[in-house]
Amino acid sequence: MTASLIPHHIAIVMDGNGRWANKRFLPRIAGHKQGVDALKRCAKACDARGVRVLTVFAFSSENWQRPTEEVSGLMDLFALALAREVPQLKADGVQLRFIGERQGLSVRVRNGIKQAEADTAANSRLVLNVCFNYGGRWDIVQAAAKLSEQGLPATEQHLSRAMALAHVPDPDLVIRTGGELRISNFLLWQSAYAEFQFTNTLWPDFDEAALDAAIASYAARERRFGKTSDQVQQLSVAVSPV
Ligand code: IPE
Ligand code: IPE
Ligand code: MG
């Protein structure tokens, strides 16, 4: 059985903004600005193709280690993008969710997040999860802490329900742009059975053709979830309509 043709949930490590800017002798922040446009384009394209959940990595727990100027530039850009883009996203039926540790973010950013979530909560066309001040290890630890607070045993089911992305099914396809072949602390728990697509395309250059190439690669794969190929093919014969 090949994977269903369109992934329900796509997750993306949006990497390569800095190199995109460097190549043009621009400051790194110019690459991040271009990255916001790439995200808007990508969300539209995902919606048009029938993808229902898009999860993007925008700022990692480790990104605080970057030069102060870049970190504050990213925080300003994030707050600005929220103020500017939410009305259109709302009109487009996008439900915005922010995933990550909120403590440590400025009041301005936290308020922007709260407002954006409240403004788009009733939408259901496309869920856009923005991972900001997020790390996969942070998520597992906060979920474990919730279980211990509630006195629940650490089962897979309880942990899954306590994770920050419990409102959506696990990602089917994880894309990383920018050429690095690593996961960098993204969706450690949820990507257990995701299909991966690594591309050298830098995030600001990621366009509809690049998205279609990733989806085409995904659609050609056999997702076995631990079973044999024969088992999976028999199952697909059994469930496919005549
Ligand atoms: C990804 O692009 C965006 C963030 C991590 C905030 P980078 O800024 O990591 O770009 P490169 O990897 O330096 O090109
Ligand atoms: C991962 O990119 C985080 C985001 C895209 C937000 P990084 O550029 O921070 O990853 P590393 O440091 O190269 O692993
Ligand atoms: Mg990078």
CATH of the domain at 234: 3.40.1180.10
Q: Which residue has the tokens 């395309």?
A: 201
Confidence band, pLDDT 50/70/90 cuts, at residue 52: very high
Q: In this structure, are residues 131 and 55 in contact, taking their beta carbons and an 8 Å threshold?
A: yes
pLDDT of 198 higher than 80:
yes
**What is the phi-psi region of residue 179: left when phi exceeds 0, alpha when psi lies from -120 to 50, beta otherwise?**
left
Which long-range contacts (C-beta less than 8 Å, at least 24 apart) are formed by 19-22?
19/178, 19/202, 20/202, 20/203, 20/204, 20/205
Per-chain residues with Cβ under 5 A from ion ligand 3: 15
Indicate the top mutation candidate among 15, 20, 33, 198 to test ligand 1's pocket, ranked by most ligand atoms within 8 A of CB.
15
Q: Tell how far the Cα of 168 is from the centroid of ligand 1, in angstroms.
A: 26
**Cα separations (Å) of 61 from 54, 77, 105, 136, 184?**
20, 17, 11, 9, 10
pLDDT of 95 higher than 80:
yes
- Beta-sheet pairing, 173-176 with 9-13: parallel
Closest CA to 39 of 167, 126, 135: 126
Per DSSP, 25 falls in state: T
59-92 pLDDT per residue, tens: 999 999 999 999 999 999 999 999 999 999 999 9
> What is the pTM (predicted TM-score) of this model?
0.96
Per DSSP, 127 falls in state: E
For 96-115, what is the mean pLDDT?
97
For 159-183, what is the mean pLDDT?
98
> How many angstroms separate the most distant Cα atoms in the chain?
61
Evaluate: CB of 133 within 6 angstroms of ligand 1: no
Indicate the top mutation candidate among 19, 37, 62, 181 to test ligand 1's pocket, ranked by most ligand atoms within 8 A of CB.
19
What pLDDT sits at residue 63?
98
Number of domains comprising the chain: 1
Active-site residue, from 22, 47, 63, 205: 63
For 234, the domain range is 3-239
